[in-house]
Structure 1
Amino acid sequence: MDKNEFKALFDLYFERVRNYIFYRSGDPELATDIAQETFMRIWEKQLDIHQGKEKALLFKIAGDIFVSNYRKQQIALKFATQSVQTNGDMTTDDQISYNELKAKYEQALSAMNEKQRVVFLMSRNDGLKYQEIASTLNISEKAVEKRMSKALEYLDKQLIHER
């Protein structure tokens, strides 16, 4: 792949890849970083991309990078959480219960429908209002409400009613 082919590929697909990752993460900076890394990998590896398969390959690479980053964040978060908890005033039973619940929560969150998870995390982790989420994702406020409702029902079922 020469520079002109790469530039054409970049110009055509960069925003699409960025928007795809933004939709999954809700983080514009992360989306830009992952989109850039996706194209860096294409350029560095000088991949021979078959005509008509560019979009699928780019989205696959971007998705893999996103998942890899997510896993790294979860490991770092888990380590930080465990460090803080170890120094806390929790009894051993409290610590075990907390760790079990946290593990169930993380498992339920990762198994949740992606559209519901995105809305849930934007609301709960990022503190965005439904209107802001709707605007960011280009969906109606009603769709945000419905996805949030489904996400909460799912978590309720997974964490409370499945004991």
Structure 2
Amino acid sequence: MTKKTVSVCEEKVYEQLYHDHAEKIYRYLCYRYGDIEKAHDIVQDSFAKLWVNCSKVIFEAAKSFLYKVANNASLNEIRSQKTMLKYQATTQKTYTNESPEFQMEEKEFMDRLNRAISNLKDRQREVFLLSRMEKKTYREIAEILDISVKAVEKRMQLALLNLRKSIPNI
């Protein structure tokens, strides 16, 4: 069976799309907007809309459809709000060889870095986080955001310049 004859309305194809893209869209939304619960809800709503429109969406366009629906839903949710990113430590150290002074400096630096990332313009922040946290290539980011690779490069350049201004000696 070729991809051109694959129907998004087939349950196995739909499940495979969910398996391949749900977690990636969820992380994209979390990094972009900083709200874990809304990100989860929006992912579910996006896949529900894909199912409702499965006869209208060709297989090759399903990924783009999902990202656009998720992105538009997120923009509608936070149109008038400024989003602050929330980072959670993945593991907590029970003991460390670092001095208390080093630990305090490290915490202060991370706080400054998180604030600086939060203060980036939305477009710069999303490109920066997709590149640095998700390890996406510029080409992948361009596809996700439906922009040119040059636009991704420019946004990354501006993000890095703004971070360097916010945090000297970075």
Q: State the TM bucket, normalised to the shorter chain.
A: 0.5 to 0.7
Give the equivalent residue in structure 1 for 2:139.
131
2: CA distance, partners of 1:160 / 1:119: 21
Give the equivalent residue in structure 1 for 2:106.
98
Give the equivalent residue in structure 1 for 2:18.
none
2:117 maps to a residue whose letter is L
Any gaps of 5 or more consecutive residues in structure 1? Answer: 1-17, 38-57
Deviations for 1:46-85, whole angstroms, at most 9, x for unmatched residues?
xxxxxxxxxxxx7677339x989954xx3xx14x45x22x
Change (3 A) 1:60 1:144: closer
2: CA distance, partners of 1:59 / 1:120: 18
Which stretches of structure 1, 4 residues or more, deviate above 2 A after TM superposition? 21-25, 30-37, 58-64, 66-71
Matches within 5 A, 1:1-163: 22=29, 24=32, 31=39, 33-34=41-42, 36=44, 62-63=77-78, 71=86, 74=87, 77-78=88-89, 80=90, 83-84=92-93, 87-160=95-168
Contact 2:113/2:167 (8 A) holds in 1:
yes
2: CA distance, partners of 1:107 / 1:133: 23
TM-score, with structure 1 as normaliser:
0.55
Give the equivalent residue in structure 1 for 2:12.
none
1:93 maps to a residue whose letter is E
Q: Percent identity?
A: 33
> What RMSD, in angstroms, separates the aligned Cα atoms of the two structures?
3.6
Give the equivalent residue in structure 2 for 1:41.
none
Any gaps of 5 or more consecutive residues in structure 2? Answer: 1-24, 46-72
Offset at 1:36? 4.8
Aligned residue pairs total 111
Contact 2:83/2:118 (8 A) holds in 1:
no
Partner of 1:133, secondary structure, is: helix
2:78 maps to a residue whose letter is G
Contact 1:34/1:62 (8 A) holds in 2:
no
Give the equivalent residue in structure 2 for 1:47.
none
